[in-house]
A = this chain, B = another copy of it.
């Protein structure tokens, strides 16, 4: 983990040095607020770790690392408007603090800023890097649209759900590692393996997020059961629906709307159905399968195996499996 921590330090330093213009204040202040809002810096660290599989001068990857982090924060700004989300990482969202118009326009400026950082990357291969970045970005938008579509859709299949979280979460991790690898001079084959690694890691990570929302983990800083109270179609809910009998299905469908129940009662009632249908265990199995698939890709890389260790350890720590 020492290498990943060093890279995280480099990323944080680089991001802290970004100097936004002073005016117009309502365009730039929210950008600084958003970028200083914390977070794991997962995407830039993955980009740097991927780069350092193939090259040593990690500073060269910093502008691209900043680009993926700025792009990620841009998606949060706009998602928070669409989801009417007032909190982000325990603080008021830009949308809550400054309103819809500021969140739209500052988000737009962040996306442009992401492209500016990407454009600063020293590479012979800017056209290809740009193409991966844009393809990734458009897929993230597709994922967000599917996510919104699902809110009003009666029935969502597990396959549809997995495709949605692949687009909404995995592809940006994949874009990050592929761009890092391309800048480091990786072969096309290694780029593909790293892409598959990140896709599976992202799925495992998102399913774990779904599981922890209902079954808890204090690291998340989220109220437990938020997904259940919103009636959100998570992996747990969709799996449960596909296995439920009619009376269980009715509980899953309507409990979050039942105003005669307290929040605790709603959560307990839905979780009782999940437990009866073995949903937590099935979810854990799916997480394990995805995570194993991710790690197995790393064994196929044609780079120095000792370099792969840092990336493998980082992936394990993300999943809380580093002990």
By the criterion CB–CB under 8 Å, are A141 and B78 in contact? no
Q: Which of A125-133, A250-258, A268-276 contacts B (4 or more CB under 8 A)?
A: A125-133
Q: Beta-carbon contacts of A119-144 to B below 8 Å, as 1s and 0s?
A: 10000001100110011011001101
By the criterion CB–CB under 8 Å, are B27 and A109 in contact? no
By the criterion CB–CB under 8 Å, are B112 and A134 in contact? yes
B105, B130, B148: the one contacting A145 at CB < 8 Å is B105
By the criterion CB–CB under 8 Å, are B82 and A24 in contact? no
Chain B residues with Cβ below 8 Å from A149 are 24, 26
Copies of the protein in its oligomer: 2
Residue of A24, A107, A135, A142 ringed by the most chain B CB atoms within 10 A: A24
A177 to chain B, nearest CB (A): 20
Q: Residue of B at shortest CB range from A78?
A: B104
A146 within 8 A of B: yes
CA distance A198 to B116 in the complex (A): 23
Chain B residues with Cβ below 8 Å from A27 are 141-142, 145
Q: Beta-carbon contacts of A205-220 to B below 8 Å, as 1s and 0s?
A: 0000000000000000
A108 to chain B, nearest CB (A): 5
By the criterion CB–CB under 8 Å, are A138 and B112 in contact? yes
Please count how many residues in chain A sit with their CB below 8 Å of the partner chain's CB atoms: 35
Chain B residues with Cβ below 8 Å from A126 are 126-127, 130
A183 within 8 A of B: no
A111 within 8 A of B: yes
Q: Residue of B at shortest CB range from A167?
A: B24
A101 within 8 A of B: yes
A100 within 8 A of B: yes
By the criterion CB–CB under 8 Å, are B26 and A141 in contact? no
CA distance A145 to B20 in the complex (A): 15
6 contacts between A and B (CB under 8 A): A81-B100, A104-B104, A112-B138, A115-B130, A116-B138, A119-B127
Besides the contacts A78-B105, A81-B100, A116-B138, what 13 more A-B pairs have beta carbons closer than 8 Å? A27-B142, A78-B108, A81-B101, A81-B104, A82-B100, A82-B105, A101-B148, A112-B137, A112-B138, A112-B141, A113-B138, A126-B127, A126-B130
Q: Which 7 A-B pairs have the closest CB atoms?
A: A24-B145, A27-B145, A119-B130, A82-B101, A109-B141, A112-B137, A116-B134
